[in-house]
Chains A and B, each alone.
Chain A
Amino acid sequence: MNGLRGHRLGSLDEIPVGEGRTYTVDGEMVAVFRLRDGSVRAVSALCPHRGGPLADGQIDNTVVVCPMHLFVFDLATGCSLSGQPDLTSFPVGVDADRTIVIYPEVSP
């Protein structure tokens, strides 16, 4: 990941409320979701089951449902709730000028 300042992905307005869009971060595909409660979440973009595009999935304030075979993942942790391998989750937020930022992993 890129220094301490994190990755700036683009404006929050690129993502309609309640939907997701895919971004590339260091060559890695990341699905970013804008929840209806106003917060954002970021997880790896492909469903580990058969590679479904998760940004096309339906979400609520907790989970995303893969559009291909309807497997369910926790948006905050990336954990599979239906017996698949887990997704990677990324720390993500929105800064003062409404830009989506993926923060660098905090090393212990």
Chain B
Amino acid sequence: MAPRLVVIGNGMAGVRTVEEILARGGGFEITVFGDEPYGNYNRIMLSNVLAGVQDEAGIFLNDLSWYADNAITLHTGTRIARIDRFAKQVYAEDGSATAYDKLIIATGSRAFVPPIPGIHRPGRGYHQGVFAFRTLDDTRAMIRYAREHERAVVIGGGLLGLEAARGLQNHLGHVTLVHAAGHLMNAQLDAQGGAILRRSVEQLGIDIVTGAHTTEILGKHEVTGVRLKDGRVLDCDVVVVAAGIRANATVAETAGLVVERGIVVDDQMRAQDEPDIYAVGECAQHRGETYGLVAPLWEQAKVLADHLTGRDPHAAYHGSRVATKLKVAGVDVAAMGVKEAERDDDETLVFSEPRKGIYKSVVIRDGRLIGATLVGDVSKVAFLMQAFDRGLALPEDRVELMFDLGGPPAEVSAAELADDAQVCNCNGVSKATIVQTVHGGCRTVSGVMDRTRAGKGCGTCKGLVQQIVEWAAGGEAEEDPGASWYVPGVPMPKPELMHAIRTHGLRSVSSVFATLVPGGEEDAKSKMGLASLLKMMWGAEYVDERDARFINDRVHANIQRDGTFSVVPQMKGGVTTPAQLRRIAEVAERHDVPMVKLTGGQRIDLLGVPKEKLPQIWAELDMPSGYAYGKSFRTVKTCVGSDYCRFGVGDSTALGIAIEERFQGIEGPGKMKLAVTGCPRNCAEAYVKDLGVVAVDGGRWEIYVGGAAGAHVRKGDLLATVGSADEVITLTGRFLQYYRENANWLERTYAFVPRVGIEHLRAIVVDDAEGLAADLDAAMAASVAGYRDPWKERAEPVTPGQFRTSLPLVVLPQVPVR
């Protein structure tokens, strides 16, 4: 029988070790215990999840089927309470025992939560509103809570605290970072670097208080603020504690293993005096060091796997030289080694340009790099890291350590890099792995990134990954085709695709697949984007295959988490009448609609309507669809305007209604949410809409485009200021049409506008520099003329069972009725 290997901790180090063991042929019967209820995910990406730049699904490293495929027994949500090293058994909290021949402890760390009065509720864990930032569950809970609150205080100004603060901004309006030391990231940066970083972070809109000790968390039931030692009180309703980490070593300690700051291990990662127990990752202490980063664990996992499988009995871990990088978009920081000179004869070079937020320093001892700090410009990080890690000889002209001086950039060239050099620290990918992937036939940068995960963490290594791919492909890295395609299943960028559709006269989604995809293969994920494009291009001539539509567009309503639908009637410009309200109320009452809610777009939403009831409800409402479900023109939000408002300078309501009247229901690559506001006080939030119109003095209107205030927040760019409502309508139509024709599928205007550039848009839409205006206007006019209210489609189902339920009656999560 194969020896039994038990791993405690289903985190990054434990599972990486298992992967390395499998890569060496395995030979164990493996059981993994994990406290968290999931497969294995990349913890460092939690910062990206919080910041909204990555979804949860994207951070999983191994799903449950991976464990099954490799015959690994996984116990998720199971905490090991005790190790009996004499009987060689581990006991889970539920009392069950599992025997091992070899045991790996990979329990990682937990957030260190300082004993601040008020941080805990007796017997109930954290005070309501207080969060740590360590696990996926922490992150989810934080996001959920933050969305419903307004002001956050993050305690701790290190890497984790900064990433938490930046991420929280995505969910609430105001974030303050409270840091005990005198400057940010004081473990990695000297005071000068810290001051420059502070300015860049403040520019992101994060308030910073340094030298501040938090002495109390305030609030009776929920957090209401924090008190600092100097007596100041910062009001807040969310507190995130990022004050450091502590190794999870209690289980090991209770079992009698030697534990200091972590579980003490030797060069084979073996616990002291224990022939069969090992520790890897953050819970291990090796030669006096514990680590709080992933790079060391990639190396530890290899050594341990070599040792356990007998592949290399002499494999030994000698410690890691780590570099830290901050994952906050727009604020680049990288640091390694010591932060300042420690001996009299250490050489230091410092470059500082505070106005640009740039700070660089290097520390050299005996001709070797022993420390480097880069703030604001990390272009030299790969080179420095290499020099630091390998102790390479440094260029005579020391300033080359900081800058590329003339000639070809002195970056590490791909060819020079050692095979086993770690290219991506976040995901532990070596040069050799990338080269093998390229030789295996994957010759695009994004393909290699997908396959190896290189570059998918902090992203700072992407340049190097690209160089290596190009080098390995003999200078012939293929352009990544997929990245430019309009939809994943048809290999063409949008302009080519539209051209081909016109040339071949393709009027249906199935004909596009049949004609333009080699092999004619359909692709479910491409259907909706194609349907939208064809409808825009062909109008009434479009051959509407219903299966190409997303469910929302098949039944003209928005599917909800419990499989029911929401119904939002049109209410142009947010203006309604008593008669309309009465009708909506009666319908809602008659059908026991579980929730009636005002939407952000100034309409009324009837939520929880079963699919089969939709036609009847539309008939009884007898109002047009508000298109709250499609990738289409949604609403025009307006303020009260000059008729009633004391401040109004333009009749925003009338203009909003006119715009909605004209462009209702027009489909596009993404939603289009508009607003018209009657004065620069901006009550209708026009600055943050796909297109927003603001009345200004003198009867003029400003048009802003590319704004957003959802998961992504962006103020729109000023496209034009015009003198009449008619001009607003013309430019709106022209802009929307240009967006419809040129944006990628699901690319909202907040991404599209910066991508093509506001000057370019202005040239086309306002100045007609390319002579496209007449065509754009005509195409939009044709779409407008083709409008039909989809809710008229109710007397007869268009397809059999169009409104038949797809739901069982009980199993789904029930949305609570308020």
Q: Which A residues fall within an 8 A CB radius of B?
A: 13-22, 29, 31, 36, 45-46, 50-61, 63-65, 67-72, 79-80, 82-86
Contacts and interface: CB of A to CB of B under 8 A. Distances in A.
Given A15-B800, A61-B522, A46 B551 contact: no
A53 B65 contact: no
Interface stretch (B44-52, B155-163, B465-473, B807-815): B807-815
Given A31-B806, A53-B563, A83-B60, A19 B521 contact: no
A16 B60 CA distance: 36
A58 B563 contact: no
B807 A22 contact: yes
Contacts of B522: 36, 60-61
Given A46-B811, A83-B39, A61 B521 contact: yes
Contacts of A14: 800-801
Interface in B22-54: 39
B804 A21 contact: yes
B96 to A, nearest CB: 23
Contacts of A72: 524-525
B801 A58 contact: no
B63 interface: yes
A53 B806 contact: yes
Contact of B546 (A16, A56, A61, A69): A16
A68 B562 CA distance: 9
Interface in B117-136: none
B137 interface: no
20 contacts: A17-B547, A18-B545, A18-B547, A19-B547, A20-B806, A46-B811, A54-B806, A56-B806, A57-B551, A58-B550, A59-B524, A59-B547, A61-B522, A67-B551, A71-B57, A72-B525, A83-B57, A83-B60, A83-B63, A86-B65
Nearest to B60: A83
A16 to B, nearest CB: 4
A84 to B, nearest CB: 7
Contact of B65 (A18, A29, A65, A80): A80
Given A18-B510, A46-B812, A61-B521, 4 more contacts: A22-B807, A55-B806, A58-B550, A83-B39
A56 B553 CA distance: 11
B70 interface: no
A20 B521 CA distance: 19
Residue of A19, A31, A58, A65 most packed against chain B (CB within 10 A): A58
A15 B806 contact: no
Nearest to B61: A83
A20 B813 CA distance: 22
B577 interface: no
Given A53-B806, A83-B63, A58 B800 contact: no
Interface in B497-554: 510, 521-525, 527-528, 545-548, 550-551, 554
A85 B74 CA distance: 14
A20 B804 CA distance: 11
Interface string B393-408: 0000000000000000
Given A53-B807, A80-B65, A36 B559 contact: no
Given A51-B812, A60-B522, A21 B527 contact: no
Contacts of B527: 58, 60
Given A58-B547, A67-B550, A83-B57, A36 B510 contact: yes
A13 B800 contact: yes
Contact of A58 (B39, B528, B559, B813): B528
Contact of A45 (B39, B528, B808): B808
B557 to A, nearest CB: 11
A84 B63 contact: yes
Contacts of A82: 57
A61 B799 CA distance: 20
B595 interface: no
Contacts of B548: 18, 58
Contact of A15 (B39, B524, B801): B801
Contacts of A56: 551, 554, 559, 563, 806
Interface in B558-582: 559, 561-563
A56 B527 CA distance: 14
A21 B559 contact: no
A29 B813 CA distance: 16
B65 A83 contact: yes
A29 B550 contact: no
